[in-house]
Amino acid sequence: MRHLTYFCCGQVVRCFGCSSTQLVIPTANFPLQVVDNLAADIYTGIYYGWATFGSEDVHKMVVSMGWNPYYKNMKKSMETHIMHTFKEDFYGEMLNVAFVGYLRPEKNFDSLESLISAIQDDIEEAKKQLEWPEHLKLKEDNFFHVPKSKIMNGHC
């Protein structure tokens, strides 16, 4: 597996599975082009780290990167849950994320309830991990403060 921290950015798009509606856990989704261009040594699974979009503050996040076996996705996706309540959606905004740590591989679940429970556990574990000093310092990385004029077509 690639050494973390791993930085990625892209424009937020509407999901193709819309699993976040069923899960009641909102996600910001990257376009397939961004997912397809991820480094080959990034394993599928659940990661935690930091995220921001536009001129917003940097927030804790978890990201599911993979095939979402419960939903039987035909395309790999990257769905970011930002641990913050936003007043409105931010489709079309540039989302910057930094993968700081790896929680677990992706897996299938026998029920929606068990999937939701696992996601909630992932969120709680990510919150704890992100309080470690070595992870907190990454919240201030220059990557999150790049002027929009420096970002071209999703390339950071």
CB atoms within 10 A of CB 97: 25
Per-residue pLDDT of the chain (156 residues; tens, 9 = 90+): 567 899 999 999 987 555 566 778 888 999 999 999 998 889 999 999 999 987 789 999 999 999 988 888 888 999 999 999 888 888 889 999 999 999 999 999 999 999 999 999 999 999 999 999 999 999 999 898 766 555 544 446
Q: What topology is assigned to 6-150 in CATH?
A: Elongation Factor Tu (Ef-tu); domain 3 (2.40.30)
Distance CA 10, CA 95 (A): 5
Query: For the chain, what are the domain ranges?
Result: 6-150
Tokens of 1: 């597996």
pLDDT of 153 reads: 45
Amino acid at 134: E
d(CA 148, CA 156): 10
pLDDT of residue 130: 97
pLDDT of residue 19: 56
**Residue 79 among the catalytic residues:** yes
Indicate which residue of 56, 79, 93, 125 is catalytic. Answer: 79
Minimal CA–CA distance to 105: which of 81, 120, 123, 122? 122
